[in-house]
Amino acid sequence: MGLSSLRAAAWALRRASGPWTPRLGPRLLCLPPMAGNGEALAPVGARQEQGTKARSGWQGAARTWEETAQQAKKLKSSEDGEQPRKLPKRKIVLLMAYSGKGYHGMQRNAGSSQFKTIEDDLVSALVRSGCIPENHGEDMRKMSFQRCARTDKGVSAAGQVVSLKVWLVDDILDKINSHLPSQIRILDKSGWLKRVTGGFNSKNKCDARTYFYMLPTFAFAHKDHDVQDETYRLSADTLRHVNRLLACYKGTHNFHNFTSQKGPREPSARRYILDMFCEEPFVREGMEFAVIKVKGQSFMTHQIRKMVGLVVAIVKGYAPESELERSWGEAKVDVPKAPGLGLVLERVHFEKYNQRFGRDGLHEPLDWAREEAEATAFKEQHIYPTIISTERHERSMAQWLSTLPVHNFSATALAAAGPDTKVGLGAGAVGKLGAVGD
């Protein structure tokens, strides 16, 4: 018998023996029962039986306390939002498509409900589908959440990728989509989750990103000669002119003038553009549109919209072609920013990750070739119609074009060059623009 059991038995024997006095010095004075109290000292055998019952009652109380403590712990865990049953937890990636109209960008603003974002609806769907506990939604670092690109207000996506840790509940993709609005979808034709390495980060492992910018072609109409309305049709010569200017962006350049709060000598302002071109125009609902595609390692805030804006200003005749090259220098240049409506994140690329892990037998390559048709259908159903109808009703491009005359490109060029310097590229410089950069 252990020491604690002996102490419990002694305590029970004392109580069974009737009243007693507290310790007085080193000895315990046991008083006989007082007259008239109706109690008599029990025989030794009876006291032993009472002691056994006392020990049994003490052990039962201990078990009851342990069960109560366990129930309290389970209740606390439930209140903290933890999954009551053990489910496997894995790092996965999700391919997302969404129409950005009505949202203030992709990234969630913790503690702020004033501006709704795409991630607000995504986190809500993850919690409601049982993929993550509620407290992980409040602090997204707890689920190692990361996005490939932080799209701006009104910007859409047909191939956004996020990485996160989730509980592998049954029918996880269907459950998530069931709690999302129709303009946000998780794309996965096979219905399988794409598992990735434990340390995978969708932002850091992404090698390149492809965006497209959809705009009405009257944006390229010359300010002095061409029709500035829906009847305009892009000529082959103008399209070649546009593509020659867009090709100048290829390579590494200093894009500090194409974003905010970046100095000309900051290394992070240098970005590498793999390709940029304008596709053949097409007509929707009587209005002609064109799509400009750009692929780069990474982009800064507003960079693509300003890249498009400067080319439009040059083609329309508001800015000289020399402005393009000068914008990569250290001088401050006022580069116009095209509307965010037509910008769409089309695809993200993981070439290096796929080379290392895509064929290791444990992970799938992150290319989503099987989801291409699903992404195209989403663009046709949600993204293109939103851009077209918004442009027709709100005329965001037409309103922005009306602000271009306010930009005094000649004045900014003269200020940077000095009062005695002529503004221009010099002999043959325009043809060499595409070679500028590392």
pLDDT digits (tens, 9 = 90+) for 276-319: 999 999 999 999 999 999 999 999 999 999 999 999 999 999 99
Residue 223 pLDDT > 70? yes
Question: Exposed/middle/buried for 106, CB within 10 Å: 0-12, 13-18, 19+?
Answer: buried
> Are 167 and 82 spatial neighbours (Cβ–Cβ below 8 Å)?
no
26 C-beta neighbours (distance < 10 Å), count? 5
Give the phi and the psi of residue 131 in degrees, each rounded to 5.
Answer: -80, -30
pLDDT at residue 87, rounded to an integer: 79
pLDDT at residue 112, rounded to an integer: 64
Whether residue 353 is annotated as binding a ligand: the answer is: no
The closest of 311, 308, 299 to 270, measured between CA atoms, is 299
Helix or strand run (H / E) with residue 401: helix 396-401
Q: Return d(Cα 101, Cα 265) in angstroms, integer.
A: 35
Q: Return d(Cα 259, Cα 310) in angstroms, integer.
A: 13
Q: Give the list of residues 6+ apart from residue 3 with CB closer than 8 angstroms, or none.
A: none
Could you tell me where the DSSP H helices lie in 155-195? 172-178
* pLDDT tens-place string over residues 39-82: 444 455 555 555 555 555 545 554 554 554 555 454 444 445 55
pLDDT at residue 32, rounded to an integer: 46
Residue-level length of the chain: 438
Compute the chain's Rg from CA coordinates: 36
Distances (CA, A) of 265 to 170, 252, 368: 52, 14, 38
> Are 51 and 13 spatial neighbours (Cβ–Cβ below 8 Å)?
yes
Amino acid at 21: T
Helix or strand run (H / E) with residue 90: strand 89-98
> Are 161 and 361 spatial neighbours (Cβ–Cβ below 8 Å)?
no
Q: Which fold has domain 89-204?
A: Alpha-Beta Plaits (3.30.70)
Residue spans per domain, the chain = 89-204, 208-336
Q: Return d(Cα 151, Cα 345) in angstroms, integer.
A: 8
Residue 241 pLDDT > 80? yes
Average pLDDT over residues 329-340: 93
Q: In a 3-state reduction of DSSP, which class is residue 93?
A: strand
Give the phi and the psi of residue 395 in degrees, each rounded to 5.
Answer: 50, 50
Residue 437 pLDDT > 70? no
Q: Does domain 208-336 have CATH number 3.40.1550.10?
A: no
pTM for the full model? Answer: 0.73
Q: Return d(Cα 258, Cα 308) in angstroms, integer.
A: 10
Q: Return d(Cα 423, Cα 156) in angstroms, integer.
A: 39
Q: Which residues are known catalytic residues?
A: 152
Same fold, 89-204 and 208-336: yes
pLDDT above 90 covers what percent of the chain? 55
Mean residue pLDDT across the chain: 80
Average pLDDT over residues 230-235: 94
> Are 364 and 195 spatial neighbours (Cβ–Cβ below 8 Å)?
yes
Helix or strand run (H / E) with residue 275: strand 270-278
